[in-house]
């Protein structure tokens, strides 16, 4: 895997992946042009675990109709301001088995999500699962 970033202007940088995909990072305080690098890391965590959970639930033939993973993070007060605590909230929709969802989330956190495994070296990562359409069957 290869990537680079190019300084565009001010505090705006463009990240470029090996395949040409790009992401604009904005390091100023307003982040009008894109996420800050740390916001991108948090979004990558949400996306990484989402990929796992969807894949696992599909393999278990669970009728998933929606998934949103939200993250709230706390950072160290002094540089480097690494994440020290991350709370993930999995908002899951569908006529699902609670056990299947719990197993999928745990497998993502404990085994498959490489972003989570890297971040947990510096930050405690906790999670909760919510069901906006009501609690599923056990």
| Domain span including residue 97 | 37-130
- 25/58 same-domain check: no
Query: What CA–CA distance (Å, rounded) separates 7 from 5?
Result: 7
- 9/22 same-domain check: yes
Per-residue pLDDT of the chain (138 residues; tens, 9 = 90+): 999 999 999 999 999 999 999 999 999 888 889 999 999 999 999 999 999 999 999 999 999 999 999 999 999 999 999 999 999 999 999 999 999 999 999 999 999 999 999 999 999 999 999 999 888 877
Residue 84 lies in a domain: yes
Query: What CA–CA distance (Å, rounded) separates 103 from 56?
Result: 9
> Quick check: pTM over 0.85?
yes
């Amino acid at each position: 895997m290869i990537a680079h970033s190019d300084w565009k202007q001010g505090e705006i940088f463009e990240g470029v992946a090996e395949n040409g995909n790009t992401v604009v990072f904005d390091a100023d305080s307003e982040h009008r042009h894109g996420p800050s690098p740390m916001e991108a890391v948090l979004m990558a965590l949400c996306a990484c675990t989402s990929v796992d959970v969807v894949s696992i639930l599909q393999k278990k033939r669970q009728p998933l109709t929606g998934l949103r993973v939200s993250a709230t993070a706390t950072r160290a007060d002094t540089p480097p301001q690494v994440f020290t605590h991350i709370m993930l909230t999995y908002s899951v929709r569908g006529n699902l088995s609670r056990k299947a969802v719990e197993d999928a989330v745990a497998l993502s956190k404990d085994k498959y999500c490489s972003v989570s495994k890297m971040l947990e070296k510096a930050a405690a990562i906790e999670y909760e699962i919510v069901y906006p359409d009501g609690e599923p069957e056990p």
